[in-house]
Amino acid sequence: MPYLQLTLPCSEADQSRYERALEDVGALAVSLQDAHLDAADEQAIFEPGVGEIPLWDEMTITALFPADTDGLVLLAAMESFDPGLDWSQVRFAAVEDQDWERTWMDLFQPMRFGARTWIVPWNHALPDEANTADAAIIRLDPGLAFGSGTHPTTALCLRWLDTLATNGELQGRNVLDFGCGSGILALAAMKLGATRATGVDNDPQAIIATADNAERNGVSIDTFMPADEPAATYPVVVANILASALDALAETLAARTAPAGRIAMSGILAGQEHELLLRFAPWFDALRVEREDDWMRIDGVRNAHPVKA
C-alpha cells in the first residue's frame, strides 16, 4: 500500500511544533532522523520523547499520509496551523510501507509502565520480569497507527490506568478510549481488569489497528468512528489526543464520563494545561496535572454538573 511521504529538516528547538502541526493535519506516522548521519546509518525513532530517546540538534522529520493526500492542500493546512515555522523545505514522495514497519519492529522493545503493565512487541520474547501471575501483558503491533507506549503522552496514560487498577478502580468497569490509535490504552484497561472497552478514532487505520491488536491479545474492543459512536457514559474515560481537540471536545468528554467517573487526558504540551484546566473545571473536580518531559496529563473526577444540551 503506497503512502505520501513528507520530509523536512528541523532543529531540536522546533521539533515539537513541527510534530504538533503534522499530527493536527492527519499524519499517520512520524519519525526523526539525525541530519548529520549518512542515510545508511540513520535510525528512525517512532513517537520520540524528549529525555526518553536522545534527540539531535539538527534532524530530518518524516511523516506519512494517505496516498491520495493533496500535497499543496496539506502544505497550506500546516502553514495555517503554525505560520511561524519554515515550511519552504518540505519535500513529498510516494513510498511503500514495508520499510516503515520493519524499522518499527527493529526499534520497539518491551516496556513496563507502573506496577503491572507491560507493552511487548507481538513477536518478542516475554521478559523474565514480566513473567508473573499478575502482570498485564499487551502484545502490540501498532502498524501505522499512533500508540506504542514510547511517547510520554501514552506512557502517562498507561501509568494512570495501572494506578487505577492498583487502587481497585478499574476492575469490572467499562472504559472509553477516545482517540484510540493502536488501541493500546483500551487493551491495557482490559488486561488490567476492565470488563469492557470502547475505542473511538477518526482515522480508519486506527480502527483497523485496534481491532487487529485486540484479536492478537484475545480480548474484544468495540470500535467506532466519531459519527457512529453511541451516546453512552463510562466510569473511566481516557483521551490521548491534541490539546486543541480536547478543548473542542470538552462537552463531549464530560457527557461521556459518568458521575463520579474518572478521566485522564493527554497530548498536552507544557503551557497548554492552564487553559484546559479552566475548560474542564465546570464538570470535573480534583483536577491535577502530571508531567513527563514536555508533555502533560490532566486527570480528575466527574461532578454532577450537567452538560449543556
pLDDT attached to residue 241: 86
Instruction: Check the annotation: does 294 bind a ligand.
Output: no
Per the CB < 8 A criterion, the answer to whether 139 and 121 are in contact is: yes
Instruction: Check the annotation: does 201 bind a ligand.
Output: yes
Mean pLDDT, residues 49-66: 65
pLDDT attached to residue 254: 97
Q: Looking at the domain assignment, is residue 266 inside a domain?
A: yes
Most confident of 57-61, 206-210, 252-256: 252-256
Residue 65 has a CB neighbour count (10 Å cut-off) of 20
pLDDT attached to residue 42: 37
Among residues 88, 94, 130, which one has the least CA distance to residue 109? 130
Mean pLDDT, residues 59-79: 87
Three-state secondary structure of 123-184 = CCCCCHHHCCCCCEEEEECCCCCCCCCCCHHHHHHHHHHHHHHHCCCCCCCEEEEECCCCCH
Mean pLDDT, residues 261-266: 97
The DSSP output letter for 280 is H
Q: Looking at the domain assignment, is residue 308 inside a domain?
A: no
Mean pLDDT, residues 221-248: 93
Confidence of residue 24 (pLDDT cuts 50, 70, 90): confident
Instruction: Check the annotation: does 84 bind a ligand.
Output: no
Per the CB < 8 A criterion, the answer to whether 145 and 28 are in contact is: yes
Q: Which residues pair with 117 in a beta bridge?
A: 113, 136
CATH number for the domain spanning 88: value is 3.30.70
How many domains are there within the chain?
2
Q: Looking at the domain assignment, is residue 307 inside a domain?
A: no
**pTM of the model as a whole:** 0.70
CATH number for the domain spanning 268: value is 3.40.50.150
Mean pLDDT, residues 40-58: 44
Q: Looking at the domain assignment, is residue 62 inside a domain?
A: yes
Same domain for 130 and 198, yes or no, is yes
Instruction: Check the annotation: does 240 bind a ligand.
Output: yes
Confidence of residue 37 (pLDDT cuts 50, 70, 90): low
Q: To which H or E segment does residue 65 belong?
A: strand 58-66
